[in-house]
Amino acid sequence: MALLSERQQTAQALAREIIRMGAWVTSPMPLDDSARLRFQVLDRDCKAILEKLSSWDWSPVWCSNLPRICSDGWKLAAVYEIDLPRERQAIINDRQPIMGELATEAKRKTPDEVLQMRKYLGWK
């Protein structure tokens, strides 16, 4: 079994708590690096669950309303998403200083070199 990233561990812990509160997590676990955590919550429980998540500094975003089959029939449920912070990729400074004649103060060209260059270019 592969080790989970910190983002995936956070997603699993949050999913467990959402399930404990009475909602359904619809995202496959472990959560993909580019995916958001999706869950479905019944309308009657929506306010309590969203307040609890907000108190934990999570910001669920409403996606849609879908029916949910419960033991007492069809119920309307809202689908929400939580965008978990992604791990930042380290930026490696691989820039090399530019070396050579053009990068530094080069010596001045002699008149003979200038004359040879002009002949080569057909200017004289």
Q: Residues 94-116: pLDDT tens digits?
A: 887 766 666 456 667 788 888 89
Give the integer Cα–Cα distance in Å for 114 and 90: 48
What is the three-state SS of 64-88? EEEEEEECCEEEEEEEEEECCCCCC
* Residue 23: DSSP 8-state: -
Is 0.85 surpassed by the pTM of this model?
no
Q: What is the pLDDT of residues 7-65, one digit of tens each?
A: 999 999 999 999 999 999 999 999 998 899 999 999 999 999 999 999 999 999 999 99
Tell me the C-alpha distance between 94 and 110, whole Å. 37
